[in-house]
Amino acid sequence: MTDEIDIERFARHIVLREIGGPGQQALARAHIAMIGAGGLGAPAALYLAAAGIGRITLIDPDAVSLDNLQRQILFRTADVGRAKVATGAQVLTALNPGTTVDAVGQAIDGNNAERLLAGADLILDGCDNFETRFAVNAVSRRLGIPLVSGAVGRWDGQVSLFNASPDAPCYRCWVPEIPPDAETCARVGIVGALVGVVGSMMALDAIKHVCKAGETLDGRIWLFDGLSMESRTVKLPRDPDCPVCGR
């Protein structure tokens, strides 16, 4: 990626003193791995491509289904049955031809996570199961790649930045074990617009992290209640007994 940037395309970024030309160049050099092209990955990937991220690795094994369309804004009705990553890559490069999109139609797990994530500057995890989150967090920690994690359920959502430094907390400091009452969107439902809010917040924190702008969610959890329209941010200390990063 060269240091040349499209002044007209990114004009609204460049006039921001927190981004400017140097920040836009940093975005153009950045490589982000996006896990999941669904409810959270769709808005996050769209905003990251629009922001000028140089390379996005889009990881998802699934095909588009009709019940995805209530919330997964990368796709249209005609895309039903097509691979999400192939369709998503076409949409993202149509939005910004300057973004290179690697489409990886695989499920990520403990066996392949290191191979798929190595070389990324930042990981965004928008998956919908704890096994994947645990595997991604472990590799994020091992490789020293910061991790923006988002999660939603019914009307609630959360976002955090983990593993941003050796002393930062990891995801397992927040969720040590799989909750016994873990729910899925397919069983309990999800309001479509909520994933847009949370996915956009993931993209926002990613942009801030790359540009070193403001205060990211490093060591903090942003919690959002869509029914009350209230949010709060809580600090997350590193757990000395964490199974992944405990000392």
Catalytic (active-site) positions: 185
Question: Are residues 50 and 91 in contact, defined by beta-carbon separation less than 8 angstroms?
Answer: no
Angle at CA 133, nearest 5°, toward 168 and 35? 105
Please answer whether residues 218 and 168 qualify as being in contact, where contact means their C-beta atoms are separated by less than 8 angstroms: yes
Classify the C-alpha dihedral 230-67-129-219 as positive or negative.
Answer: negative
Whole-number Å distance between alpha carbons of 91 and 85? 10
Distance CA 94, CA 88 (A): 10
- Coil, helix or strand for 112? coil
Whole-angstrom distance, CA of residue 212 vs CA of residue 78? 39
